Chains A and B, each alone.
Chain A
Amino acid sequence: ETGVTQSPTHLIKTRGQQVTLRCSSQSGHNTVSWYQQALGQGPQFIFQYYREEENGRGNFPPRFSGLQFPNYSSELNVNALELDDSALYLCASSLSLAGGETQYFGPGTRLLVL
């Protein structure tokens, strides 16, 4: 167990709907990164939050957005869901200091878009 939690564990939505996924970072960590893992693939970086601001973004459209709260927990929001958004969404927390800090992953949220 890494101390990183995510909710919900599973979610079923229909095309066009909006979804919010939540992540609680490990105690003492100040950075949360979100990844999308399609079936049979490695995780792909969506974006990162550091000190409540977006701090880097992967190749994902603006309908993917997020927040980080003062307690360093984070949300991932996806608007106008598409079938290809079906995936496992992973958050990872870390303590950003000098670089290269290990990211610790939560169990993920499995999203199915019908």
Chain B
Amino acid sequence: AQTVTQSQPEMSVQEAETVTLSCTYDTSENNYYLFWYKQPPSRQMILVIRQEAYKQQNATENRFSVNFQKAAKSFSLKISDSQLGDTAMYFCAFMKHARSQRQGGSEKLVFGKGTKLTVNP
């Protein structure tokens, strides 16, 4: 079974500064996907960034980037130029590669417990 660990229950950062959220995971799978989701106080879970395990290049989406270390099973999220709107719960999630085409559907997401990020003015 896969597990995802987020060791920082809460973090805070000053507006315009950079912050890094940590995530480690445990799996015996070789093909999988990793995600960071953001859940603002309004509660809708929003995708921030995703990473395919077979890709060596770290994913980047505007101010958000990841540091994916496959051998260490580490997947941290870096937020640059933090904005007040970045205040939210951040969840790291793991997904196995899908079962065979014959079965169809997709795999479940396995989430960490989340990190509460507060951006201070």
The interface of chain A, by Cβ under 8 A from chain B, is 1-2, 31, 33, 35, 40-45, 48, 50-51, 55-56, 58, 88, 90, 92, 94, 96, 98-108
Contacts and interface: CB of A to CB of B under 8 A. Distances in A.
B106 A94 contact: yes
A55 B104 contact: yes
Contacts, number: 85
B105 A100 contact: no
Interface of B: 4, 32-33, 35, 37, 42-47, 50, 52, 91, 93, 95, 97-99, 101, 103-114
Contacts of A102: 35, 47, 50
**Overall SS of chain A's interface:** loop
Q: Pick the most buried of B37, B44, B95, B105: most chain A CB atoms within 10 A of its CB.
A: B105
A108 B44 contact: yes
Given A42-B91, A43-B91, A96-B98, A103 B106 contact: yes
B104 to A, nearest CB: 6
Contacts of B105: 31, 48, 50-51, 55-56, 96
Contact of B52 (A43, A100, A106): A100
B44 A99 contact: no
